[in-house]
Amino acid sequence: MSGCELPLGICPDMCPAAERAQRERERRLHRFEVVPGYGGHPPRADPLRAVKEYSRPAAGKSRPPPSQLRPPSVLLATVRYLAGEVAESADASRAEVAGFVADRLRAVRLDLSLQGACDTEAAAVLEAALATLLAVVARLGPEEARGAADPVLLQTQVQEGFGSLRRCYAQGIGPHPRQAAFQGLFLLYNLDSEEALHEVLQLPATLRACSPLRTALAVAAAFREGNAARLFRLLRTLPYLPSCAVQGHLSHARRAALARLSQALSTPKGQTLSLGFIVHLLALDGSHEARELCQAHGLSLDGKDRVVFLRGSYSEKGLPPASTCHLLVGSKLRGRTLEEVVMAEEEEEDMLRPGSPA
């Protein structure tokens, strides 16, 4: 690897043979990793499905030999497999998928770190890994995100993914054609962070002029200004991965918009707005979500499906109700596979051209 003095990994498989054998003996194989249809005991590891698991480096422990480290080309193939096969598993819960993928992607980042990989090829691995993780986390339903899949751990993994990738960019061993897009994802994921905004604003002007980053900055401005109409209009135009990145902020942005409406419209007699207007303004997935959102904040509806803004009725208790986010996230795939999105096989020709956000 250019610019790196550490030895390059030579393991040709997604999981080193020694680890496969050890985990097979210890019965620590995930069901995603065993030979399909094998009825013996213990289950056998499938070399084409087993993926190296994360193991925290122990203090004073020697560095793994090259035979235990996967080179960037194998790591990229591993991420492609996780995005194309595991993430699309039809017979597993999204929480199970997210837990498995997050752990295996953490091992991918560790293998790169142990080799000192820091060039264009390494960045491509980190980009694909981060894109995969963002997508599997965004697919978690409200109950899954608060139960079987630890949301705090997953959020930590996403932030670590951004950290690894942005440090790689900072090494300056480029080019990195997708940097503007991923710096934009970083800002969108951390939309409520002053520090993240400051870091993005310190990037070179030529990078900030690229369309994905300009759009992310416009979203951040609308979010901070409380301009709900502009914010949700921009969010409708975002591609799939940026939509996954910003998804965690949607509920709070909708709550803030509803609070401003209540402050502006509430009277002793109660002014009204149509439920359809709320659906459109906040880009909700239907009147049922708008009704649930309003009622969760103390706002009642009259007999004509109009929201009544009565002075003193608005309230905020607990977290805002979660929504399905089909319009703003799920629908953006438009028939493409996650693998195509992750590997940039769908990227528009103008993704890196300077321009104004929609």
* 316-331 residue pLDDT tens: 998 888 888 999 999 9
Question: Do the Cβ atoms of 180 and 352 come closer than 8 Å?
Answer: yes
Three-class HEC string of the chain: CCCCCCCCCCCCCCCCHHHHHHHHHCCCCCHHHECCCCCCCCCCECCCCCCCCCCCCCCCCCCCCHHHCCCHHHHHHHHHHHHHHHCCCCCCCHHHHHHHHHHHHHHHHHHHHHHCCCCHHHHHHHHHHHHHHHHHHHCCCHHHHHCCCCHHHHHHHHHHHHHHHHHHHHCCCCCCCCHHHHHHHHHHHCCCCHHHHHHHHCCCHHHHCEHHHHHHHHHHHHHHHCCHHHHHHHHHHCCHHHHHHHHHHHHHHHHHHHHHHHHHHCECCCEEEEHHHHHHHCCCCCHHHHHHHHHHCCCEECCCCEEEEECCCCCCCCCCCCCCCCCCCHHHHCCCCHHHHHCCCCCCCCCCCECCCC
| Residue pointed to by tokens 């303004």 | 281
CA 246 to chain centre: 8
Q: Where are the domains of the chain?
A: 1-176
The pLDDT value given to residue 185: 98
Question: Do the Cβ atoms of 208 and 257 come closer than 8 Å?
Answer: no
pLDDT bucket at 159, cuts 50 / 70 / 90: very high
The pLDDT value given to residue 62: 81
Please compute the mean of the pLDDT values over residues 95-100 and round it to a whole number: 95
Residue 317 structure tokens: 């208790």
Distance CA 44, CA 141 (A): 32
* 64-86: pLDDT as tens digits: 999 999 999 999 999 999 999 99
pLDDT at 52 over 80: yes
The pLDDT value given to residue 356: 46
Determine the Cα angle at 163 with ends 157 and 168, to 5°.
Answer: 130
The pLDDT value given to residue 351: 40
pLDDT bucket at 59, cuts 50 / 70 / 90: low
* 135-158: pLDDT as tens digits: 999 999 766 655 557 889 999 999
